[in-house]
């Protein structure tokens, strides 16, 4: 962060906390600023008082080793909910939006200054609270001082998680409602908050009720800091830190690049563009809506491709709610292997995600009307993205509950949880992209029965075989190599996605017999 950005944030914080008004000559303004600052100070003192007394409280409850996991998670939830209640509009646009964009600063700084300002506040708050707790905790039970480095990492990471996750959830809800052409502030706010706190609510409902149990279960710190931390745990924490930095950096990059679209989605007229432009509807969105309408207008298409997404949702929800039974572990003594219930269910998740895909016949489904697409100024790449999005959209509800099941039912944490989730995502993207590439290679537009193209087309059969090979490899490699095997599979799938994408981009025209 350069000197220009630092100075801008300093001035904004002085105005936000009304410090600048303390020197105002108007006594009423000065009094109001003083009362506001006293209110902030009282709230801060109460927070510090709770933080200092927390180790004593949890020691009485025989939970002293859970102090840091609890407070790390609590800070995340409090700051994230605070951010949501403040509104994503305030952090992406802010009260001084118009003034920022006439300052002699680079445009990206004006777009991100609200996010950085919020981060500074959260960072200072987390730092003071967490290190006050460590002092109090050390009095009850001395711990290796090297563990303070982990506290420092979480001081940096918690604000990134709170700000990033709240922005992502809020924008996704706004985007989803905009697709439905539904605008209601109350519904949007309630839906956003419910989605954000869903893991916390589930954590409280999944076991005996305790005031701190749900917060502890959702903590990103899997170990106590009262004892020496193993090298493996250090590695997991550092890897999580790198992932969080990468995701937050990617979010900032997207905000800078798509700022006009984002604030338009929020409902604010952008003032960053000082010239008139011809506004045209997004080609991609038009193609996606067309694909969505075609899909739901065909009973055959829906029936033959919706079973796997629904099964994924039902199984994931059943596991998350504890309604499905656990499989009896299968021992393979010759290979010294044990097939556990979580492993079996995870393979079922992968099978549901990859066994069927709409993309294996989506180009062929254009049928004899393909000439319309061929005559329009639409690239195959744009058409592929729209068709791929449809398949991904169908699996999103099931994917969400499957991820929740990985956390709750499988009890995956840290790096293991991240790798398993990434593998589920890459599996979905891999089969979607592979289906598109295969269908482009073997299209069939000369058909009169929808069942023929959906169930019996060459591309459908080849994609089905590829998906079964992928499922088998996933089961075998993950069984023998565990998390390392899943990491390798993620790499293999990413290579397949890249190769399939290159093949799609090479195609400039839909060819096939009509």
CB 339 within 8 A of CB 479: yes
Distances (CA, A) of 55 to 49, 63, 149, 227: 11, 9, 19, 16
Instruction: Kindly report, residue by residue over 15-74, the tens digit of the pLDDT.
Output: 666 677 777 777 777 776 777 678 778 888 888 888 888 888 888 878 788 888 999 999
- Which of the residue ranges 82-91, 339-348, 467-476, 489-498 would you say has the lowest mean pLDDT? 82-91
DSSP 388-436: HHHHHHHHHHHHHHHHHHHHHTS---HHHHHHHHHHHHHHHHHHHHHHH
Q: Which of 107, 385, 41 is nearest to 257 (CA)?
A: 107
* Residue 168 predicted with pLDDT over 80: yes
> Which value, to the nearest 10 degrees, does the dihedral of the CA atoms of residues 431, 399, 172, 76 take?
-130
Instruction: Kindly report, residue by residue over 121-140, the tens digit of the pLDDT.
Output: 889 999 999 988 998 888 88
* Residue 180 predicted with pLDDT over 50: yes
| Residue 339 dihedral angles phi and psi, to the nearest 5° | -90, 110
DSSP 157-215: HHHHHHHHHHHHHHHHHHHHHHHTT---HHHHHHHHHHHHHHHHHHHHHTSS--TTHHH
Q: Give me the mean pLDDT over the 185-213 stretch.
A: 80
Beta bridge partners of 332: 337
CB 440 within 8 A of CB 503: yes
User: What was the pLDDT predicted at 337?
Assistant: 84
Instruction: Kindly report, residue by residue over 400-450, the tens digit of the pLDDT.
Output: 999 999 998 998 888 899 999 999 999 999 999 999 999 888 887 877 667
User: What was the pLDDT predicted at 277?
Assistant: 45
Longest alpha-carbon distance in the chain: 86
**SS3 category, 490:** helix
Name the percent of the chain lying above pLDDT 90.
28
Which among 142-146, 222-226, 277-281 has the top mean pLDDT?
142-146
> Which value, to the nearest 10 degrees, does the dihedral of the CA atoms of residues 109, 281, 399, 71 take?
20
Categorise residue 165: left if φ over 0, alpha if ψ from -120 to 50, beta otherwise. Answer: alpha
Instruction: Kindly report, residue by residue over 92-121, the tens digit of the pLDDT.
Output: 876 666 666 667 777 787 788 888 888 888
CB 162 within 8 A of CB 80: yes
Which among 94-103, 320-329, 478-487, 500-509 has the top mean pLDDT?
478-487
For residue 337, what is the enclosing H or E element? strand 337-339
359 Cα distance to chain centroid = 24
* Residue 334 predicted with pLDDT over 60: yes
User: What was the pLDDT predicted at 278?
Assistant: 45
* Residue 230 predicted with pLDDT over 80: yes
- Which of the residue ranges 161-170, 373-382, 418-427 would you say has the lowest mean pLDDT? 373-382
Distance CA 165, CA 120 (A): 17
User: What was the pLDDT predicted at 279?
Assistant: 47
Confidence band, pLDDT 50/70/90 cuts, at residue 14? confident
Name the percent of the chain lying above pLDDT 70.
89
Q: Copy the structure tokens of residue 204.
A: 């409280």
Distance CA 269, CA 253 (A): 21
Contacts of 9 (CB under 8 A, 6+ apart): 1, 113, 116, 117, 120
Q: Angle formed by the axes of helices 341-354 and 380-408, to 10°? A: 160
Q: Give me the mean pLDDT over the 381-401 stretch.
A: 91
Cα-trace Rg, the chain = 26
DSSP 71-120: HHHHHHHHHHHHHHHH-HHHHHT-TTHHHHTTSSS-HHHHHHHHHHHHHH
Contacts of 439 (CB under 8 A, 6+ apart): 359, 360, 361, 362, 363, 364, 457, 459, 463
Contacts of 303 (CB under 8 A, 6+ apart): none
**SS3 category, 339:** strand
Residues in the chain: 514
Contacts of 437 (CB under 8 A, 6+ apart): 500, 501, 503, 504
CB 399 within 8 A of CB 431: no
User: What was the pLDDT predicted at 250?
Assistant: 92
DSSP 426-475: HHHHHHHHHHHHHHHHS-----S-HHHHHHS-HHHHHHHHHHHHHHHHHH
User: What was the pLDDT predicted at 101?
Assistant: 67
> Which value, to the nearest 10 degrees, does the dihedral of the CA atoms of residues 76, 82, 87, 90 take?
-90
Distance CA 295, CA 309 (A): 14
149 Cα distance to chain centroid = 27
pTM exceeding the 0.85 threshold for the entire prediction = no
* Residue 274 predicted with pLDDT over 60: no
Instruction: Kindly report, residue by residue over 215-226, the tens digit of the pLDDT.
Output: 888 888 878 888
Confidence band, pLDDT 50/70/90 cuts, at residue 299? low
CB 66 within 8 A of CB 216: yes
Could you tell me which residue, 453 or 131, shows the higher pLDDT? 131
Neighbour tally for 187: CB within 10 Å: 12
Contacts of 317 (CB under 8 A, 6+ apart): 323, 401
Q: Give me the mean pLDDT over the 189-201 stretch.
A: 86
**SS3 category, 267:** coil
Q: Give me the mean pLDDT over the 452-461 stretch.
A: 77
Distance CA 164, CA 167 (A): 5
Q: Write down the residue that tokens 């987390």 correspond to.
A: 126
Average pLDDT, the chain: 83
Q: Give me the mean pLDDT over the 239-263 stretch.
A: 89
User: What was the pLDDT predicted at 270?
Assistant: 47
């Amino acid at each position: 962060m350069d000197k220009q950005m630092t100075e801008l944030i300093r001035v904004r914080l002085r105005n936000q906390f009304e410090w600048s008004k303390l020197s105002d000559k108007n006594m009423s303004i000065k009094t109001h600023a003083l009362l506001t600052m006293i209110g902030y100070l009282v709230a801060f003192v109460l927070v510090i008082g709770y933080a200092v007394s927390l180790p004593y409280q949890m020691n009485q409850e025989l939970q002293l080793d859970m102090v840091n996991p609890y407070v790390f998670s609590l800070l995340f939830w409090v700051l994230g909910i605070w951010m949501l209640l403040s509104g994503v509009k305030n952090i992406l646009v802010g009260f001084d939006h118009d003034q920022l964009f006439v300052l002699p600063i680079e445009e990206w700084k004006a777009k991100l200054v609200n996010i950085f300002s919020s981060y500074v506040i959260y960072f200072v708050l987390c730092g003071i609270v967490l290190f006050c707790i460590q002092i109090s905790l050390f009095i009850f039970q001395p711990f290796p001082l090297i563990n303070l480095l982990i506290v420092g990492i979480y001081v940096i990471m918690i604000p990134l998680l709170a700000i990033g996750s709240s922005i992502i959830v809020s924008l996704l809800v706004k985007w989803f409602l905009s697709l439905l052409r539904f605008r209601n502030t109350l519904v949007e706010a309630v839906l956003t908050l419910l989605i954000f706190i869903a893991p916390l609510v589930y954590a409280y409902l999944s076991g005996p009720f305790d005031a701190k149990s749900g917060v502890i279960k959702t903590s990103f710190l899997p170990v106590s800091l009262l004892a020496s931390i193993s090298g493996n745990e250090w590695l997991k924490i550092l890897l999580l830190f790198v992932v969080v930095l990468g995701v937050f950096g990617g979010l900032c990059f997207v905000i800078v690049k798509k700022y006009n679209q984002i604030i338009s989605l929020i409902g604010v007229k952008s003032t960053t563009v000082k010239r008139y432009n011809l506004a045209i509807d997004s080609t991609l969105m038009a193609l996606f809506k067309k694909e969505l309408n075609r899909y739901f207008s065909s009973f055959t298409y829906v029936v033959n491709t919706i079973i796997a997404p629904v099964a994924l949702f039902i199984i994931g929800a059943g596991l998350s709610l504890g309604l499905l039974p656990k499989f009896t572990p299968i021992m393979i003594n010759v290979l010294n292997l044990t097939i556990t219930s979580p492993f079996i269910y995870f393979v079922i998740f992968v099978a549901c995600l990859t066994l069927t895909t709409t993309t294996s016949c989506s180009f062929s489904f254009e049928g004899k009307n393909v000439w319309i697409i061929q005559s329009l100024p639409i690239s195959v790449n744009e058409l592929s993205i729209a068709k791929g999005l449809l398949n991904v959209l169908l699996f999103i509800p099931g994917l969400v509950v499957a991820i929740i099941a990985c956390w709750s039912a499988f009890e995956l944490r840290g790096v293991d949880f991240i790798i398993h989730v990434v593998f589920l995502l890459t599996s979905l993207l891999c089969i979607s992209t592979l289906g598109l590439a295969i269908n482009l290679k073997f299209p069939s537009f000369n058909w009169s029965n929808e069942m023929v193209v959906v169930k019996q087309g060459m591309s459908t059969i080849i994609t089905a075989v590829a998906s079964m090979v992928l499922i088998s490899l996933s089961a075998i490699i993950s069984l023998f190599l565990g998390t390392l095997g899943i990491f390798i599979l993620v790499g293999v799938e990413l290579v397949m996605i890249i190769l399939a994408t290159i093949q799609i981009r090479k195609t400039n025209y839909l060819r096939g017999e009509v």
